[in-house]
Structure 1
Amino acid sequence: MKFELQFFGATEEVTGSLYVIRTGQHTVLLECGLVQGGRKDELRNAEPFPVPIKDIDAVILSHAHIDHSGRVPLLAKRGYTGPVYTQNATRELCSIMLPDSGYLHEKDAEWENRKRDKKGEEPVEALYTRADAEDSLKLFRSFRYEESTEILPGLWLRFLDAGHILGSAIVELRCSDGTASRTLVFTGDLGYRDAPVMEPPKRLKHADAVLMESTYGDRLHRSFDETLIELADIFQRARASKGNILIPAFTVGRTQDLLYLMSQNYKRWGLADWHIYLDSPMGIEATKVYARFRHLYGAELFRPGSELPNLPNFHATMTTEESMGINTIRSGAIIIAGSGMCTGGRIHHHLKNNIDRAECHVILIGFQAHGTLGRRLVDGETEIRLWGETLPVRAQIHTVGGLSAHGDQADLIDWYRNFANRPPLYLVHGEPKAQQALQEKLRETLNAPASIAVRGQKIEI
């Protein structure tokens, strides 16, 4: 019985998840994500896929975040016509996120081609367009959690709640030839034990191999109570300085967590003194998907019978004109806008109007990959460039780690601990320092056969 896994993306780095599974005559892509980071990193997205597209029988996605799903439109553009399997809510979120990604690629190409035209250089083509993304959505097939389905002869797929974002899944793949079977479990991105909205990740008891993320493998998050106190302090200081608060937020997951926490701590954080703007068309649409799938979590995020968060001073700004109007506000605005790593989107406009103002505050609430503007702010850069203009960083920068949608080292070890047979464990989706620390801790505490996946490496399950 052949059941082989080969690593290609998110090996010794966080973004660009992509793995190849081979069973008998069949080939499956597990994840199909965009590489994110600096310009040099992102150029890798245009590279050929690691196997011929005609040989791919199916694609499986653990969740909707672009570093896990964002190359599906490119795959389809290059000729893939097979199924893309996801959890039900993931399919809905991808229908928002992938066309938005296509739009951003179109805009990037337009910007690049304006520069090339001035130099007399050949134009570039967008990685894929909004139309390409919308076409790829026709390939999606979705299932409920816990539903086991034979997607190819002898290959059974089951999604279990990973607790990371809405629809996020632990992927269980069981390969059987009728006499023997082998099981591969892939965590996708595992949620944090104190996640405000999502349910805790499901635990499994058996696997023959485990593929596990390691984003925060080298650290422990602050306790959730400490995080709430930290946010209360930031809001109090911002109120005293009479500026604005900018919160670059991932539009799926972190945004909804933040809106829920604001509703739960409305008085404690003095939020009646502010106007709260969700300045992200995609974030607004994603929040509506959270409302439609509220049966997947227990948190009371919305007003009864409504798709609006439980916040009396909440404003959803869909249009460009509404967004531009926010930039006339000098004080009293909390602006939640994408992207979470400050790599694009409306947050750039708000940074341009506020980053040089000492009375303003920027709260970074998620992982910031190397090469991103968000990472440079975390690392203390004193100047940033936006649209060719150099801006001094005078606003106060806050990094709040306790709101991560990823489990920390203790969460990851505790989740793996549930496997009674201690299956071989391969670490992906993490930077080398985090992976090495997690590998050592797993070996030390559980005697786990943990190794760090290397690009191109093959394993037999």
Structure 2
Amino acid sequence: MHLEFCGAAQEVTGSCHRLQLGGTQLLVDCGLFQGGRDADARNAEPFPFNAADIEAVVLTHAHLDHSGRLPLLVQRGFRGGIWCHPATADLVAIMLEDSAGIIEHETAVTNRKRERKGLPPVKPLYTRADAEAVLEHLRPLRFGETVEIADGVRLRLQDAGHILGSAIAELWLSEGKLQRKLVFSGDLGHRGAPILRDPTPIAEADLVIMESTYGDRCHRPWEDTWRELGEVFDADGQKGNILIPAFAVGRTQELLYVFARHYQDWRLERWHVFLDSPLAIKATAAYRRHLELYDSEACRVQRERGDPFVFPQLRMSESVEDSMALNQVRSGAIIIAGSGMCTGGRIKQHLKHNVWRRDCQLIIAGFQARGTLGRQLVDGARHIRLWGETIRVAARVHTIGGLSAHADRDGLLAWYRGFAAGPTLALVHGEPEAIASLADAVRGLALRVLCPQPGERIDLATVAPSH
């Protein structure tokens, strides 16, 4: 009985963990590597296992760093079930279609350039057909239900509170006389965040595999975050445009929700708010279909006001023509667009047309992985490169970390303390500094703390049972 860390070890993206017991193999997540010059090459590499040998996948949530290589897995021979919450099944369908469309478009652009140079064409990482093939393998499972997903493997999902349908995975493993319970945190939500419930506490485990994205820092209190955000919108004087790169699933819906709630407080009637993301528009529709996942406050808002994501001055820019028209707007626009780390999508066009203007403001409202354009902007870059052009950064950049959908250091520690006995803990999904910092903080609580390296394997027989 072994656990192998095939991704998100000593880094934030590429989540993929392989479990093997007897002749049974399964994965927890199969996500894209994001950020860094070698991300495309890493995603195209063969898996460190035979895809046809994997019997099942547990998908914790729909973000592409957890789901984005599923089309490759199916393309390369996977034939089993992909177990996830029904809301995740809804979201992953639209996210993989969008991802495949971007990959196909970028490959077509690359091949036109290669053709002019007399070079042979390259194949896309995967296609829309590959993404659609994943949907046949989805096996929806509601929170709290237990099911056997392979010989000797039982699964129960619990609410992680990160995005719609995000799950903590409880896995009971049995191989002969050896029995172990593993708990994968997935991505844990930020306590007190709008719309969704807080992460579910789990009482028992022999091994906990926990994310550590913000393992070395704490978020600002929510009251301070709302005040800081409101000050950006309510500033007097000449106003240019405000750009908000936002993840299409999770962050965008939170922003729309709080904009609606603070519409008068923040004097948003003075702005035109554009949601410039077809994917985010579809994801928001999915949020409307799953009211059962809302927290009590969001349920109350929905009952009293109706749709919690709409307000005056909000415009949906779905078509390419609508998006391009925003390039002519020089002031008075708040533009929410993907991608959240500025690695692709329509936000790059808006940066090209605005970030060199002194009256432009840029709100960074989520984690920015190393190697991404968003991280460059957070780190104070005075120039950026877009499509071979060097562009001066004159805009004012606001980093509002309190909006993160991830649990911070205190939230991670609080969730881990929910286990009755301090089980062995493996820290993943974080940069090395964050992992090391969180490991130091938790050593007095955990029986043993592991900081696995990429490709490292753990013999689960060596993991002491916590009961």
TM-score (norm 1): 0.96
How far did 1:366 drift? 0.4
Q: How far apart, CA to CA, are the structure 2 residues paired with 1:278 and 1:310? A: 11
Q: Where in structure 2 are there 5+ consecutive unaligned residues?
A: 461-467
Could you tell me which residue of structure 2 aligns to residue 30 of structure 1? 28
Q: How far apart, CA to CA, are the structure 1 residues paired with 2:343 and 2:446? A: 40
Contact kept, 8 Å, 1:86 with 1:140, in 2: the verdict is yes
Contact kept, 8 Å, 1:302 with 1:309, in 2: the verdict is no
Structure 1's 357 and 193: CA in aligned 2 closer, same or farther, altered over 3 A?
same
For residue 33 of structure 1, give the secondary structure of its aligned residue in structure 2: coil
Q: How far apart, CA to CA, are the structure 2 residues paired with 1:81 and 1:176? A: 23
How far did 1:194 drift? 2.0
Q: How far apart, CA to CA, are the structure 1 residues paired with 2:15 and 2:446? A: 27
Q: How far apart, CA to CA, are the structure 1 residues paired with 2:335 and 2:110? A: 29
Could you tell me which residue of structure 2 aligns to residue 437 of structure 1? 437
How many residues matched?
457
How far did 1:33 drift? 0.2
CA deviation map 1:276-316 (0-9, x unaligned): 11110000000000000011113156587966723122111
For residue 104 of structure 1, give the secondary structure of its aligned residue in structure 2: helix
Could you tell me which residue of structure 1 aligns to residue 464 of structure 2? none
Could you tell me which residue of structure 2 aligns to residue 119 of structure 1? 117
How far did 1:136 drift? 1.6
Could you tell me which residue of structure 2 aligns to residue 338 of structure 1? 338
Could you tell me which residue of structure 1 aligns to residue 274 of structure 2? 277
Could you tell me which residue of structure 1 aligns to residue 253 of structure 2? 256
How far did 1:94 drift? 0.4
* Amino acid across the alignment from 1:458: R
1:394 matched to 2:391: no
Could you tell me which residue of structure 1 aligns to residue 11 of structure 2? 13
* Amino acid across the alignment from 2:96: L
Stretch of structure 1 that moved more, 201-210 or 35-44: 35-44
Contact kept, 8 Å, 2:260 with 2:308, in 1: the verdict is no
For residue 350 of structure 2, give the secondary structure of its aligned residue in structure 1: helix
For residue 231 of structure 2, give the secondary structure of its aligned residue in structure 1: helix
Q: How far apart, CA to CA, are the structure 1 residues paired with 2:399 and 2:17? A: 32
Could you tell me which residue of structure 2 aligns to residue 59 of structure 1? 57
TM-score (norm 2): 0.95
1:85 matched to 2:83: yes
Contact kept, 8 Å, 1:303 with 1:310, in 2: the verdict is no
Could you tell me which residue of structure 1 aligns to residue 450 of structure 2? 451
Contact kept, 8 Å, 2:53 with 2:78, in 1: the verdict is no
For residue 79 of structure 2, give the secondary structure of its aligned residue in structure 1: coil
Contact kept, 8 Å, 1:61 with 1:84, in 2: the verdict is yes
Could you tell me which residue of structure 1 aligns to residue 463 of structure 2? none
Could you tell me which residue of structure 1 aligns to residue 42 of structure 2? 44
Q: Where in structure 1 are there 5+ consecutive unaligned residues?
A: none
Could you tell me which residue of structure 2 aligns to residue 317 of structure 1? 317
Could you tell me which residue of structure 1 aligns to residue 69 of structure 2? 71
Q: How far apart, CA to CA, are the structure 2 residues paired with 1:177 and 1:67? A: 30
For residues 23-422 of structure 1, what are the structure 2 equivalents within 5 Å? 23-176=21-174, 181-237=179-235, 240-298=237-295, 299-300=298-299, 309-422=309-422
How far did 1:448 drift? 4.6
For residue 253 of structure 2, give the secondary structure of its aligned residue in structure 1: helix
Contact kept, 8 Å, 1:302 with 1:310, in 2: the verdict is no
Q: How far apart, CA to CA, are the structure 2 residues paired with 1:55 and 1:414? A: 37
* Amino acid across the alignment from 1:242: K
Q: How far apart, CA to CA, are the structure 1 residues paired with 2:5 and 2:391? A: 40
Q: How far apart, CA to CA, are the structure 2 residues paired with 1:85 and 1:386? A: 39
CA deviation map 1:5-38 (0-9, x unaligned): 1111000000000110012211001110000002
For residue 443 of structure 2, give the secondary structure of its aligned residue in structure 1: helix
* Amino acid across the alignment from 1:454: Q
Q: How far apart, CA to CA, are the structure 2 residues paired with 1:84 and 1:273? A: 46
How far did 1:236 drift? 2.3
Contact kept, 8 Å, 2:156 with 2:170, in 1: the verdict is yes
Stretch of structure 1 that moved more, 312-321 or 404-413: 312-321
Q: How far apart, CA to CA, are the structure 1 residues paired with 2:307 and 2:65? A: 27
* Amino acid across the alignment from 2:119: E
How far did 1:115 drift? 2.3
How far did 1:266 drift? 1.1
Q: How far apart, CA to CA, are the structure 1 residues paired with 2:317 and 2:34? A: 26
Q: How far apart, CA to CA, are the structure 1 residues paired with 2:349 and 2:400? A: 22
The sequence identity of aligned pairs, in percent, is 52
